[in-house]
Structure 1
Amino acid sequence: MHRDWLSSGGIICAAAAAGWAGWSGNVLLLPLSAAFPALWSIATTRATAASVSAAYFLAASRGLPQGVAAFYASDILPGLLLWLTASSAFVAVHAALWSKRQGWLPLRYLAASGLMAVPPFGILGWAHPLTTAGVLFPGWRWLGLVAMAAGLAVLTTRFRPAAAFALAGFWLWSATSWTAPKISPAWHAVDLHLGASLGRTSDLVRHRDLVATARATARGPGDIVVLPESTLGFWTVTVQRFWQRELSGTGLIIVAGAAVVDDAGYDNVVVIISESKSSVVYRERMPVPGSMWQPWQDLIGGRGAARAHFFANPVVDLGGTLVAPLICYEQLIVWPVLQSMLHDPDLIVAIGNGWWTSGTSIVDIQRASAAAWARLFHKPLVMSFNT
């Protein structure tokens, strides 16, 4: 009994280490997350399997309590509660599908992996080991995703040493030959460091400064400048006309985040602006659950929450260039990027407003996750964040 307790404790600690190191924000360390299915499969009881799942997920999402506390300007307790709540879906799915019958574990793990990739469980499907496919199988596209799923499944069998050895070989090869897909010189990403004021301070001076930043970043007419989530604040006719007037004669195109508000709530959106026209081209499919997306508000007659457009507008046509937009939280989960990849876009545009993540690795994890998916499908990646 004492030996079993020590064995279970070691597996749980190893799962926490895999979650912590794999989701540290370094894209080349993502393959460490592939240790999770192997550790899950060698658990001897359902309780241990649940503990392994919890240790992995909580370690991977360790920045959440501090980030939530910063977002709400409160103590860390609400963040801890959300952290534990967020882990519940991951733990419940993997605990329910674990089995003592080793022969069924590969199929059961694939079922758990699939459930955590799509709604409703996929809404909280952070730290998904499938993301590792972009590091191990760069440029393999859908075949790489299948290969990664197969590798993760084999890690739950008695052949796990051979699978681990093979995956480690792909990891070494990828790490020594890692290159990012080339981006057209017409695209320019701007990182801002305006903290919590971005999107909340929307006076004329702020907008003029943002226009000046965009113009200074571009090299000439026809260039496309990408600005972070929430850059424009509330998208109104006044803001629209101001930006179009300021862009007059520049030939520039601005891609930026904003919010469209009505009586029932708001949409987190991407807008495209040029001197001749402007429009909302993308509405976020999955806002941050809890802080932005609050589906219970409809039941109690509340208002003010962000809407989720789960499977809407996966790609945007920008003058003949097909773009896959990913806003903030969408970079941490699976289905938005895979849905976009079904349309074979020309590039991925990832934007975020991570001022509240100061002191955590959340933005680095977002960047690493987006980079891995872009690498898997061999797509140029443009990233723009505010911190």
Structure 2
Amino acid sequence: MRRKLVRPAVLVGLSAATGWISWSGVALLLPVSLLFPVLWSVATSRKIAALISVGYFLAASRGLPQGVATFYQFDLWPGLLLWLCASLSFVAVHTALWTANARARPFCYLAAIVLMAVPPFGITGWAHPVTAAGVLFPAWGWWGIAAMTAGLLGLVTHTWPAVAMALVSVWLWSAATWTDPILPDRWRGVDLDLGPSLGRETGLHRHHKLIQLVRETGFTKTAVLALPESALGSWTPTVERLWIDGLAGTPITAIVGATVVTEEGYDNVLVAVSAQGGNVLYQQRMPVPGSMWQPWQSWLGQTGSARADVFANPVVELDGTRIAPLICYEQLIVWPVLQSMLHDPDVILAVGNGWWTAGTSIVDIQRASVIAWARLFARPLVISFNT
């Protein structure tokens, strides 16, 4: 009896270690996630496959309970509940699609890859192994996605040792020649360390300080300067006029996070503002489920939820430059960046407000993910976070 428990325990332990290491916030460690499909495929029953999936996902998303508790300023239990609920789609998909039929297994795993990449399951499709494509196949673009998918399918067949050796060789070569994504000419992302006050403290003094920062940072060399998610608070005609006047006499365009209040709730947006005027540039496609996006509120006739545009505005244009914006949560899931890449953007812009993740690896994971995507598609990358 004890021997029968050893193998499942080892597989679950290895799966948890895989999730922990690969999603530690270091881009070059993302390929460790490719061990998960191997462990999933060698499970001897659906129950063990479920436990392997639980171990991987919970370890990969380990920062969520603490982050949620910090954000809402209450104890750890609600965060733990959200952590477990978020794992349901990943575990359910991989449990339902597990099969003992070796011939059918690659097709089942292909279905799992696709389902966890697109809505509705993809809404919580964190820790997707396909993200490692940018590390293994930099600059390959869509061919890199195809190669990564083929490699993942090979890892769930009986030839997985040979496939794994080939992927490890590619990984080592990539690590030896790795370079970070370039910064676009005359663009700059500004990281802030203003904690929870950013977006909540929206008085005149805060706006003046941000405007002064923009002017000092980008006056001589920068044409476009990005500030983090929610930096402006609510985007109103008064705020717009204040920033237009504040940037008068400069060539700078500031792309800044803000919220736009609607009758039903609010939009989480990026605005572009310069001395010539301001406008909403981008509306977030996928706000954080549960804390921001609460679709049940509309079902109950209530208001206050962030709106999810899901497939809207994958690419926006600013002065002839096509931008693929990713706000915070969108950097953790697959379909927003792939949808944007279908429209051939010139630059990827990733912003976030991660003060609530202090003591966790969440922001580092977001950075690693967008770096991997930028390297895969050989796109310049601009990053701006508040912590």
TM-score bucket (shorter structure) = over 0.9
Say whether the 8 Å CA contact 1:23–1:29 is kept in structure 2: yes
Query: Residue in 1 aligned with 2:239?
Result: 239
Matches within 5 A, 1:155-194: 155-194=155-194
What is the distance in 2 between the residues matched to 1:39 and 1:222? 48
Offset at residue 215 of structure 1 (A)? 1.1
What is the distance in 1 between the residues matched to 2:185 and 2:319? 16
Query: Residue in 2 aligned with 1:133?
Result: 133
**Matched residues, number:** 387
Q: Secondary structure at the match of 1:188?
A: strand
What is the distance in 2 between the residues matched to 1:182 and 1:88? 37
Residues 107-140 of structure 1: CA distance to partner in whole angstroms, max 9, x if unpaired?
A: 1001001000000000000000000000000000
Offset at residue 277 of structure 1 (A)? 1.5
Is 1:284 aligned with 2:289?
no
Q: Secondary structure at the match of 1:232?
A: coil
What is the distance in 2 between the residues matched to 1:175 and 1:339? 27
Query: Residue in 2 aligned with 1:25?
Result: 25
Is 1:201 aligned with 2:192?
no
Query: Residue in 2 aligned with 1:49?
Result: 49
Say whether the 8 Å CA contact 1:221–1:250 is kept in structure 2: no
Q: Secondary structure at the match of 1:102?
A: coil
What is the distance in 1 between the residues matched to 2:284 and 2:130? 22
How high is the sequence identity, in percent, across the aligned residues?
60
Is 1:363 aligned with 2:370?
no
Is 1:382 aligned with 2:382?
yes
Offset at residue 102 of structure 1 (A)? 1.2
Offset at residue 41 of structure 1 (A)? 0.4
Query: Residue in 1 aligned with 2:39?
Result: 39
Matches within 5 A, 1:72-91: 72-91=72-91
Say whether the 8 Å CA contact 2:293–2:308 is kept in structure 1: yes
Offset at residue 221 of structure 1 (A)? 6.9
Residues 333-358 of structure 1: CA distance to partner in whole angstroms, max 9, x if unpaired?
A: 00000000001101100000000000
Offset at residue 254 of structure 1 (A)? 0.3
5+ unaligned residues in a row in structure 1: which ranges? none
> Judging changes above 3 Å, is the alpha-carbon distance between structure 1 residues 315 and 90 closer, same or farther for their aligned structure 2 residues?
same
Say whether the 8 Å CA contact 1:221–1:251 is kept in structure 2: no
Query: Residue in 2 aligned with 1:118?
Result: 118
Query: Residue in 2 aligned with 1:94?
Result: 94
TM-score, scaled to structure 1 = 0.99
Query: Residue in 2 aligned with 1:319?
Result: 319
What is the distance in 2 between the residues matched to 1:366 and 1:61? 12
What is the distance in 2 between the residues matched to 1:166 and 1:47? 30
Q: Secondary structure at the match of 1:267?
A: strand
What is the distance in 2 between the residues matched to 1:58 and 1:66? 13
What is the distance in 2 between the residues matched to 1:182 and 1:63? 29
Say whether the 8 Å CA contact 2:184–2:347 is kept in structure 1: no
What is the distance in 2 between the residues matched to 1:215 and 1:29? 38
Query: Residue in 1 aligned with 2:212?
Result: 212
TM-score, scaled to structure 2 = 0.99
Query: Residue in 1 aligned with 2:310?
Result: 310
What is the distance in 1 between the residues matched to 2:323 and 2:113? 27
Offset at residue 281 of structure 1 (A)? 1.2
- Please tell me the root mean square deviation across aligned C-alpha atoms, in Å: 0.9
1:300 maps to a residue whose letter is: L
What is the distance in 2 between the residues matched to 1:167 and 1:213? 45
What is the distance in 2 between the residues matched to 1:155 and 1:373? 22
What is the distance in 2 between the residues matched to 1:106 and 1:57? 20
Say whether the 8 Å CA contact 1:220–1:252 is kept in structure 2: no
Offset at residue 280 of structure 1 (A)? 0.2
Offset at residue 217 of structure 1 (A)? 1.1
Offset at residue 220 of structure 1 (A)? 2.1
Offset at residue 219 of structure 1 (A)? 4.3
